[in-house]
């Protein structure tokens, strides 16, 4: 039985221009759950991870608004909090879809930590935007009061907090989760792991881990978690139907079946932006280098067809 790790993007819960409330998140997750059930119907073992960008942004805003009455929580706590709330929603909607399909699987959510290097260059050069936009007048006192790094977004004429996004090295809970699932994991449990990229931690010399203020890219973390679980396929679900070169240009071309060498060549040619498709491509390439067999990028409606080779971008290791 092939193990498929599906990495759900933030659009599985919340989409641009929407209300951003819990009812909307439930609707989107319900439609995503139906697509995930199709993977199980086809006989695969399924594991899940997810993004948390919009949700962490909302939690940061709640921190700001309630700061006079409730002590703000650090970013690592908010990442853990988002794992809980999104994992709960996934469990609710996916288990309901499983019962409708008369399937026996259960969903189990694991709060996950991801080890990063204390000297990762990202800590010296934070680039990951989080939270809302601020005006010039708001940004000046914020720097003094909080010590945040703020970056200016010319397209939106506003300042936004940026935090480090270090490279994930190791999923801390990998061994106990594998032991729990068992050597003969037959897909009776759908684990939800490394949500939002995992809570970033660094290993202390005396043992144990120390949390750090950062946000790990969820696709790069998915590659780490996928290999730890022995997944053969990493399917990254986003809001476009695959990987394109010349995206939104007159020469745009969507990739269907490609080998790693071709994808790496496009990456080196600057085809994939760091803030959009770049991390997804890096995650796929990393997953395949570490022993994975297939990487997929697709949207949620075409997930089943992409796994069957009929849609999306499918990346295989080695030359074709």
Active site residues: 10-11, 128, 218, 280
Residue 112 token pair: 């996950």
Q: Residue 157 corresponds to which tokens in the numbers above?
A: 């004429």
Q: How far is CA 33 from CA 27, 75, 87, in A?
A: 10, 28, 12
| Count of Cβ atoms closer than 10 Å to residue 119 Cβ | 10
Of the candidates 13, 77, 281, 60, the one whose C-alpha atom is nearest the C-alpha of residue 162 is 60
Residues near 118 by beta carbon (within 8 Å), at least 6 away in sequence: 202, 212
Burial of 18 (0-12, 13-18, 19+ CB in 10 A): middle
The residues, ordered by sequence, that sit 6+ positions from 170 with a Cβ below 8 Å of its Cβ are: 114, 115, 224
Tell me how far apart the alpha carbons of residues 170 and 113 are, in angstroms, rounded to a whole number: 9
Q: Where are the beta strands (DSSP E) in the chain?
A: 3-8, 45-50, 106-109, 113-115, 128-134, 149-153, 158-163, 170-171, 189-192, 199-203, 209-211, 233-238, 244-245, 253-254, 257-259, 294-299, 313-316
Compute the chain's Rg from CA coordinates. 19
Helix axes 218-228, 174-181, angle to 10 degrees: 50
């Amino acid at each position: 039985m092939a193990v498929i790790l599906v990495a759900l993007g933030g659009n599985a819960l919340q989409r641009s221009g929407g209300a951003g409330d819990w009812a909307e998140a439930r609707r989107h997750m319900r439609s995503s759950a139906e697509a995930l059930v199709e993977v199980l119907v086809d006989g695969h073992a399924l594991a899940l991870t997810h993004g948390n960008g919009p949700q962490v942004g909302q939690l940061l805003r709640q921190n700001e608004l309630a700061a006079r009455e409730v002590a703000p929580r650090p970013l690592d706590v908010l990442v853990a909090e988002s794992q809980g709330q999104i994992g709960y929603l996934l469990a609710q909607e996916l288990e309901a879809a499983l019962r409708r399909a008369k399937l026996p699987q259960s969903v189990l959510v694991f709060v996950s930590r991801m080890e990063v290097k204390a000297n990762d260059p990202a800590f010296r050069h934070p680039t990951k935007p989080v939270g809302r936009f601020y005006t010039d007048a708001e940004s000046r006192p914020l720097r003094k009061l909080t010590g945040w790094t703020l970056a200016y977004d010319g397209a939106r004429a506003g300042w936004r907090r940026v935090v480090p996004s270090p490279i994930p090295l190791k999923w801390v809970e990998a061994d106990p989760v594998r032991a729990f699932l068992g050597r003969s994991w037959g897909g009776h449990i759908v684990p939800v792991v490394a949500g939002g990229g995992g809570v970033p931690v660094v290993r202390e010399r005396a043992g144990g881990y120390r949390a750090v203020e950062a946000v790990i890219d969820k696709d790069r973390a998915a590659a780490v978690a996928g290999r730890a679980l022995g997944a053969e396929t990493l399917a990254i679900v986003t809001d476009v139907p695959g990987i394109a070169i010349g995206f939104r240009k007159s020469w745009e071309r969507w990739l269907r079946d490609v080998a790693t060498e071709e994808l790496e060549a496009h990456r080196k040619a600057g085809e994939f932006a760091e803030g959009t498709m770049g991390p997804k491509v890096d995650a796929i390439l990393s997953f395949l280098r570490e022993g994975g067999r297939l990487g997929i990028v697709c949207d949620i409606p075409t997930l089943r067809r992409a796994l069957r080779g009929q849609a999306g971008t499918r990346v295989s290791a080695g030359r074709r």
